[in-house]
Every structure is written in C-alpha cells, then in structure tokens.
Amino acid sequence: MTTTILVTGGCGFIGSNFIHHLHAVRNSWKVVCVDALTYAGNLGNLDEIRSWENFTFERASIADRGAMDEVFSAHKIDYVVNFAAETHVDRSIEDATNFILTNVGGTQVLLDSERAHGVKRHLQVGTDEVYGSLGVAGFFVETMSLHPNSPYAASKASADLLCLAAHHTHAQDVVITRCSNNYGPYQFPEKMIPLMLRNALSDKQLPVYGDGMNVRDWLYVEDHLKAILLVLEKGRAGEVYNVGGHNEWHNIDLVKHILNELGKPESLIKFVEDRKGHDLRYAIDPEKIASELGWKPETMFPEGIKKTIKWYSDNQKWLDDVTSGDYLEYYNKMYKVDSDGTVTR
Ligand code: NAD
Ligand code: TYD
C-alpha cells in the first residue's frame, strides 16, 4: 500500500526542503502539499518537484475547515506533517492576529479533520521557543514547563498543547518535534541568517539587535528534516522530541563569521534598537532523540554555513524575486530605513 503524506506549509523554508527530501528518500510516497501561499510561501521553492508524478499541490489555508475537509476527502492521507505557520517573531510583536488564526486555529482544524478521516499520525513541527529563555547555563529538555515569551512562541505552545490534548482525549496519534533555529537554502530573508547574507552580498548595513549577545542554537535544515522523518516513522505516540545540534552562537559572532566568509568588512555591522522582550538564549538538549531514535546532526556548522552562503550567492534571482514587493515595504518599516539606505531603527 502506498503511503500518502500531507505536508502543510510545504512552500515555506523547512517545508519545501522536506518535500525535496521526501522526493529523494521516499520517492514512492504520494505527497500532497497544502499551502496558503502567504508572503512566506513560494511555489518556486518546489520548481523541480512539480513534475514528480507523486506530487499534488493544493492552495488552501489550514484554518479553513471546509477546504481541509475537501483535501482529506480527495486524498486518503496516512500522515500529516504540519509546518504551516506564521513564523516571524518580529511580525508577531507587530500584530499577532494571523499567528492565532493559523498556528492555533489551523492546528485544531487539522487535528479534527484528521480524526474524521482516519489519519494515522500527526507530526507537529514545533519550536524550542516554547520553553522561553535560558540564562547563560543549562539546556531545554522535553520535561520543562512551557514559558513562551513572544506572541509567536505562545501560539506555537498553544498548538503543541492542542496536539497533546487530542492525544489524551481522543487517543489520537500525535508526535511533536521541537527544533532550534534552522538555517539553509530557501529561508525567507526576514530571518537573521538570510537577511544578513542578503545585506552583506549587496554591501548594505547588517542590523544587529541590542548588543548582539543573544544566543541561538543553529541547526542545518537537512538535519532537522531527517529528525522529522525519523520521529514520524519511529517516534512514540504522544511524545515530544527536542532537535538540536549543540551549536550555540552569540548573534554578533555569527554575523562576523558571515562577513568573514564573504570577505566583507565588519564596518557593515549596525547595532540597532533591541527586539521587545528579546529572549536571551536558546539551547537544546537532544539526548532523548539521540538515545531513543539514534538521531544525530550530520552537517557541522562550518560546512553548513559555507553551503548556505553558496546557495544564496548562486540564487540571486530567487532572492530578488522574494524580496521584491511586500518585503521591501516590511524591511523599510521594520528597520526604519532612510532615503540613502541607512538603518535608523
Ligand atoms: P516559513 O515562514 O518559511 O513558511 C511557512 C509556510 O506556511 C509558508 O509557505 C506559508 O505560506 C505557509 N502558511 C502560512 N499560513 C498558512 C495557512 N493558514 N495555511 C496554509 N499554509 C500557511 O516557516 P519555516 O521557517 O519553514 O517554519 C516551518 C515550521 O517549522 C513552522 O511551524 C515553525 O514554527 C517551525 N520551526 C521553524 C524553525 C526555524 O528556524 N525556521 C525552527 C523550529 C521550528
Ligand atoms: P530570527 O532569525 O528572527 O529567529 P528567532 O528570533 O526566532 O530566534 O532571529 C535570530 C536572532 O537574531 C535573534 O536573537 C534576533 C536576532 N536578529 C538580529 O539581531 N537582527 C535581525 O535583523 C534579525 C531578523 C534578527
């Protein structure tokens, strides 16, 4: 029997990489991609996939109950991997409305439709941001209580809790991954690494929030995809699995590293007003997924960042396409860019 998987948010950064990964390693599976094509969704991320005979695309919002019912009726779905979300912390600080509609409401619609249509398993792609902020020591473990600090993190925590509630109440088979910050090809340049890369490539200022001493734990996207597939196929129902590779960087050191790799001067760095409620440090303890499922990161940072830089340098047209239109308006407003291109935030 052929396995059919519904990938929501498959036109975004991680979702599109996941579909490329399925094409490579689960080529006999049928893949249905549902994406609302928001500003962050780009069908062009799947250009090489669209001729794959096992691939179907449906434009729809996961928060639209009727549309989701049609998708589940049209395809006999075995697995759902839910990537679809509003994902940018800064945007959630400006306006959280769509974060609640999609991340919270959309997740519940999916869970309900899955039960109605006999879906075997729901994998919720979660984030370590639900744990809140660490001090200088310690790591996030799955048993910690949740302390989300941004509207984005709070909406993702709500989604995780709805999944766990569906498991507890309806014995629905759900698994949750909580990954640290990802980097790699196809990441929308509102996020730190592609934003810094894009600006550096065109000799524009690199806006570093606050003093640049916040810490993030970076994982190459392919390692995340492998973890998701492993948890989908072998994880225990009702369980949460943290995903991360012990790769912590102060933002400022990472920005300097990127500049160095590109041979660009550190004078491009511009310290700007800090993000409101900016979490100090994220760091994952991946012991559970390592010992239970044998996952470990394979792409170390020096190699991963080189590949990422090369991808963005080679895909200038992709960058130009996704940053035309709405992005410019967002960037100029968020970073208070004046007429000569100076960031004044
Ligand atoms: P992204 O913003 O690049 O992509 C999100 C995708 O979801 C887009 O294609 C968008 O069009 C789609 N989408 C948004 N609202 C939708 C709706 N209502 N219905 C259908 N589709 C909708 O995000 P990403 O970075 O690829 O993140 C994917 C998932 O992984 C998210 O759930 C995010 O919380 C989680 N996550 C991301 C990271 C990271 O570092 N990027 C880390 C851990 C977890
Ligand atoms: P981001 O990529 O938005 O991920 P998240 O906030 O979800 O971890 O930001 C990563 C870090 O980089 C975070 O500490 C905020 C910081 N940052 C900047 O300093 N400047 C920027 O322009 C952006 C977008 C982020």
Q: What is the mean pLDDT of the chain?
A: 97
Q: Which atom of ligand 2 is nearest to the CA of 279?
A: 14
Q: Which domain holds residue 93?
A: 4-183+217-243
Q: Domain for residue 204, yes or no?
A: no
In short, whether 125's Cβ falls inside 6 Å of ligand 1 is yes
Residue 16 has pLDDT above 90, yes or no: yes
Tell me whether residue 206 is in a domain: no
Contacts of 147 (CB under 8 A, 6+ apart): 131, 132, 133
Q: Distance between CA 52 and CA 16 in Å, rounded?
A: 14
CB atoms within 10 A of CB 203: 10
DSSP string over 279-290: --B--B--HHHH
Residue type, 123: L
Per-position DSSP letters for 195-246, written without gaps between them: HHHHHHHTT--EEEETTS--EEEEEEHHHHHHHHHHHHHHPPTT-EEEE--S
What local confidence, expressed as pLDDT, does residue 117 receive?
98
**Is position 43 within any domain?**
yes
Q: How far is CA 174 from the centre of its chain?
A: 19
Classify residue 57: in a domain, yes or no.
yes
What confidence category does residue 160 fall into, taking pLDDT thresholds of 50, 70 and 90? very high
Domain assignment present for residue 203? The answer is no
Residue 45 falls within a domain, yes or no?
A: yes
**Among 87, 209, 254, 333, residue to substitute to test ligand 2 (most atoms within 8 Å of Cβ):** 209
The pLDDT value given to residue 1: 85
Nearest ligand to the CA atom of 218 = 1
**Does 314 reside within a domain?**
no
| Interval 186-235: pLDDT, tens | 999 999 999 999 999 999 999 999 999 999 999 999 999 999 999 999 99
Nearest ligand to the CA atom of 106: 1
Residue 31 lies in a domain: yes
Residue 204 has what pLDDT?
Answer: 96
**Of 321, 156, 288, 297, which is closest to residue 221 (Cα–Cα)?**
297
The pLDDT-based confidence of 51 (bands split at 50, 70, 90) is: very high
Closest atom, ligand 2, to C-alpha of 191? 2
Closest CA to 122 of 89, 158, 78: 78
Backbone angles phi and psi of 209, in degrees to 5:
-70, 135
What pLDDT sits at residue 325?
81
Q: Ligand 1 test: best mutation among 45, 61, 83, most atoms within 8 Å of CB?
A: 83
Question: Residue 340 pLDDT > 90, yes or no?
Answer: no
Report the percent of the chain where pLDDT is more than 90.
Answer: 96
Decide: 308 and 181 in contact? Cβ < 8 Å.
no
pLDDT at 104: 99
Q: What is the pLDDT of residue 339?
A: 82
Domains in the chain, number: 1
What is the CATH classification number for the domain harbouring 52?
A: 3.40.50.720
Per-residue model confidence (pLDDT) at position 341: 81
8: its two tokens? 């929501």
Q: Each residue of 53-108: pLDDT tens digit?
A: 999 999 999 999 999 999 999 999 999 999 999 999 999 999 999 999 999 999 99
